[in-house]
Amino acid sequence: MPSSRESGHLSTHTVDSIQPIIWDSRGCLRLLDQRRLPEEETYLEFTDPREVAAAITDLVVRGAPAIGITAAYAVVLSALRHSEHPQPLVQIEQDMEVLRAARPTAVNLEWALARMDQLIHSCDPSSMGRLAGDLLQAAMEIHQHDIAANHAMGELGASLIEPGSAVMTHCNAGALATGGYGTALGVIRSAFGQGRVRQVYAGETRPWLQGSRLTAWELCREQIPVSLVTEGAVAPLFREGLAEWLITGADRIAANGDVANKIGTYSAALHARHHGARVMVVAPLSTIDFSADSGEDIPIEQRSPDEILTAGGQPVAAAGAGAWNPVFDVTPAELVDVIVCETGIARAPFRESLSALAGRNTASGG
């Protein structure tokens, strides 16, 4: 089992002070246990890649970019664990299959594993002793690229927001959901620093309360004004003109611009657009799945009904009631004004503009 290390409450307030994923030079992976926030900061330590997969499933770490980075480091753990095995590649592949199944909607998971798999299969059999080191280098590059991409997206997205605006965000797309800084919250952080955002409204994000536990925690640390709203209050929020933008992250974006994100995003986008607000999706290019022609091709994860029927382990629903618990929904491209990636800003028609941004990334060697 993973070990834990508790540090109490975080006290620093710089934008890069939140580190949800840390590679330890002793050869272990440290993950900030997001289930225990905001009450306490606890890092769990992992040396077993299958325990990392369980941590992804159990929401120790969450957010599509963070899941991908975590999976990449888990492959390093697998290589270290099986270095003396007579068939190390077979063992690593088996661990990777377990990792692939951990969260099916987050495309960054498959993207990161595919990159690690390519490195494994290009390895010279005579250099197997260097495999773990090569994989670690690749995982660190994925991690650092994500942080740099988040800062780039932050500046691009902030440039679209009028000074003094109020915005709404849903779920958590901050440092906790990425390698650092954040996607949607990266834009909000950059915009706040430039005087473009004066107020943030954050959806609670039931049933796991990522908005109230995680997003509000991050924004309060940065001293950015944030007010929580229930999902049922989103319609009047936009009707009363309290927010000019809905800004969210994404777990997967189809080739046509349909966006899979935390359940509740679709309805928030409907309310925003109906009342004249704009919708911004912020995600790295690794979140775009060009093999998915539309949102119909995106798998939507269903989680246990107990997440809705209980709270804090205590029953809250009538005995015998069931629950339908999709974790994500798909926001159609026609409800999205802009998709901000690290190489630029995409607008409709998204099939062409997203392809162009991905081409820029390829041309730059990304």
Residues 122 and 204 reside in one and the same domain: no
Tokens 């010279």 -> residue: 124
Residues 19 and 7 reside in one and the same domain: yes
How far is CA 79 from its chain centroid? Answer: 25
Q: What is the pLDDT of residue 363?
A: 43
pLDDT in tens, 183-237: 999 999 999 999 999 999 999 999 989 999 999 999 999 999 999 999 999 999 9
Classify 161 as helix, strand or coil: coil
> pTM of this prediction?
0.87
Interhelix angle 88-100/64-81, rounded to 10 degrees, is 160
**Top mean-pLDDT range of 42-56, 75-89, 303-317:** 42-56
Q: What is the pLDDT of residue 10?
A: 29
**pLDDT at residue 171 greater than cutoff 90:** yes
pLDDT in tens, 131-153: 889 999 999 999 999 999 999 99
Q: Report the helix count and the strand count for the chain, using DSSP H and E.
A: 12, 17
Task: Report the pLDDT averaged over residues 260-282.
Answer: 98
pLDDT in tens, 279-304: 999 999 989 999 999 999 999 999 99
Residues 255 and 346 reside in one and the same domain: yes
Residues 145 and 160 reside in one and the same domain: no
- Whether the upstream peptide bond of residue 38 has omega within 30° of 0, thus cis, is yes
CA distances from 110 to 19, 184, 289 (A): 22, 22, 10
CA neighbor of 18 nearest in space, from 199, 165, 219, 229: 219
Q: What is the pLDDT of residue 126?
A: 59
User: How many whole angstroms separate alpha carbon 142 and alpha carbon 69?
Assistant: 6
**pLDDT at residue 109 greater than cutoff 60:** yes
Q: What is the pLDDT of residue 155?
A: 98
Residues 90 and 124 reside in one and the same domain: yes
Domain boundary among 149, 172, 189: 149
**Is 251 an active-site residue?**
yes
Classify 196 as helix, strand or coil: coil
- The answer to whether 263 and 329 are in contact (CB under 8 A) is yes
pLDDT band at 311 (very low <50, low <70, confident <90, very high): confident
Residues 160 and 112 reside in one and the same domain: no
Residues 77 and 175 reside in one and the same domain: no
Residues 186 and 105 reside in one and the same domain: no
pLDDT in tens, 21-30: 999 988 999 9
Q: What is the pLDDT of residue 146?
A: 94
Q: Which range among 84-98, 207-221, 278-292, 314-328 shows the weakest confidence by mean pLDDT? A: 84-98
Q: Output Rg (C-alpha) for the chain, integer angstroms.
A: 20
130-139 in b/e burial notation, b at 16+ Cβ within 10 A?
ebbebbbebb
200-239 in b/e burial notation, b at 16+ Cβ within 10 A?
bbbbbbbbbbbbbbbbbbbbebbebebebbebeebbebbe
CA neighbor of 203 nearest in space, from 214, 215, 211, 195: 211
User: How many whole angstroms separate alpha carbon 164 and alpha carbon 304?
Assistant: 41
The number of domains in the chain is: 2
Burial of residue 97 (CB within 10 Å: 0-12, 13-18, 19+) is exposed
CATH number for the domain including 37? 1.20.120.420
Interhelix angle 64-81/107-121, rounded to 10 degrees, is 30
Classify 64 as helix, strand or coil: helix
User: How many whole angstroms separate alpha carbon 234 and alpha carbon 222?
Assistant: 24
Question: Which amino acid type is present at position 246?
Answer: L
**Which of 33, 95, 251, 329 is the catalytic position?**
251
CA neighbor of 69 nearest in space, from 147, 162, 179: 179
Domain boundary among 89, 120, 149: 149
Residues 60 and 193 reside in one and the same domain: no
Supply the range of the domain harboring residue 67: 3-149
Residues 60 and 124 reside in one and the same domain: yes
Q: For residue 105, what are its two tokens? A: 């909607």
Residues 75 and 167 reside in one and the same domain: no
Q: What is the pLDDT of residue 87?
A: 80
Residues 282 and 308 reside in one and the same domain: yes
Domain boundary among 83, 115, 149: 149
Give me the percent of the chain exceeding a pLDDT of 70.
Answer: 92
Task: Report the pLDDT averaged over residues 93-108.
Answer: 89
